[in-house]
Amino acid sequence: MPLRILLSAMLALIFCATPALAETPPGPGPKDRCAVCGMFVAPYPNWVAVIQFEDGTNAYFDGPKDMFIYYFDFEKFRPASKIADISNIYVTEYYTTRLMKAEEVFFVTGSDILGPMGNELVPVQGLEQAKTFLRDHDGKKIMQFDGKNLTERPADR
């Protein structure tokens, strides 16, 4: 009887966790290139950013900097689509290296941590961690994405 209860509990956990796991897009394949600079993305898993579209396609980037270049000049990079066609935007959080929604992290600019293309917007979960990262890595600003705009947050060094 205890084994049956344990198995039932394990199945319940699996079914509860599945929707959260299904939401995150798959990682880039070996031939996926950054939609802005053309660089292969898979060799840099700690920096991957993804724009997920309603039609099930994904645009991959070698870091948040290129992803925001694409987003803020959307008509240039994807002229047949509209911003409303975007279902989710993900970035790789610096400390956990997990894909997280761009609205759930803070971006530190001007730090001594470089991405694959040099200076990068470093995604950090939590404002306090972002402030600590800014101090520890000589960052310049903390930014936040609200789903439409990237705006500066007070850093209170």
5: in domain: no
55: in domain: yes
50: in domain: yes
| Element spanning 143, H or E | strand 141-145
* Mean pLDDT of the chain, nearest integer: 88
Q: Is the pLDDT of residue 3 over 80?
A: no
Once rounded to an integer, what is the mean pLDDT over residues 41-60? 97
Taking the C-alpha atoms of residue 80 and residue 97, their distance in angstroms, rounded to an integer, is 32
Range of the domain at 40: 32-153
Q: Is the pLDDT of residue 144 over 50?
A: yes
40: in domain: yes
pLDDT for residue 25: 86
Residue with token string 């000049």: 73
Provide the number of structural domains found in the chain.
1
27: in domain: no
Q: What is the largest CA-CA distance in the chain?
A: 62
56: in domain: yes
17: in domain: no
pLDDT for residue 154: 78
94: in domain: yes
